[in-house]
Amino acid sequence: MATAREALLDAALAALAHRPWSAVRMADLAAAARVSRQTLYNEFGSKEGLARALVRREADAYLQGVRQLLAAPGPPERNLITVAEWIVTRTATRPVLRALLTGAWDARLPAPRPARPGARPAAVPAQRRADEGPPAPGELVAATAACAGERWAAGCELAVRLALSHVVAPAVPYGPRAGTDGQCEEPDSWSPMTPRMTSVIETILSVETRSPRKSMP
């Protein structure tokens, strides 16, 4: 059974699918989670604290997902491809995660600012961690690479950065799929990675398995 904290975070994430963060009301979230407003404030302290907790949970869930994929049976280089494809697919439906990984925050999302210096520490341990603020994109990429272990860290970072390049600037259709006016159609911004990009990652990572030094060049 979900805790009150998890239920409130779920309600906040669901609310973001329909309205900007500025229009999300704490009373509505408490009602959706079936808890009192006092419980909400006890957990998060304020709406800003709730925003920090929501962003922190997205970062933690992302890293946990990466660890699970990298631990799957099979060749490590194939697992890195899976991680890259998973990142592109997951960011398609999770705008907070997309902003965390790219740094592209917009007005619809909660502001990921850390707690004010000198503010009273939160009573809830999980909130104290959240109040430190979210990781920057570079820090999150580095944490992702660390999940792969020392031998595959460089390959993992490469795969992640290529995946994020697809998230930021997805492939544009050409040829028969181009618009009738000679201009390219709007790309499907959050489509899964193209076979070409997956092939590029596989080719680069294959250097690892062929190199006599067994390390990325």
pLDDT, position 87? 95
Q: Where are the alpha helices (DSSP H) in the chain?
A: 4-16, 26-33, 37-44, 47-70, 76-93, 95-102, 125-130, 137-147, 149-168, 195-210
Report how far residue 165's alpha carbon sits from residue 138's, in angstroms, rounded to the nearest whole number.
Answer: 14
Evaluate if residue 196 carries a pLDDT over 70.
Answer: no
pLDDT, position 166? 87
- Per residue in 144-165, pLDDT tens? 999 999 989 998 999 999 899 9
CB atoms within 10 A of CB 28: 14
| Token code pair at residue 49 | 């604290």
CB atoms within 10 A of CB 67: 13
Report how far residue 161's alpha carbon sits from residue 156's, in angstroms, rounded to the nearest whole number.
Answer: 9
pLDDT, position 169? 81
- How does the average pLDDT of the chain come out, rounded? 84
pLDDT, position 215? 43
- Per residue in 62-108, pLDDT tens? 999 999 999 999 888 889 999 999 999 999 889 999 999 999 998 89
- Per residue in 42-57, pLDDT tens? 999 999 999 999 999 9
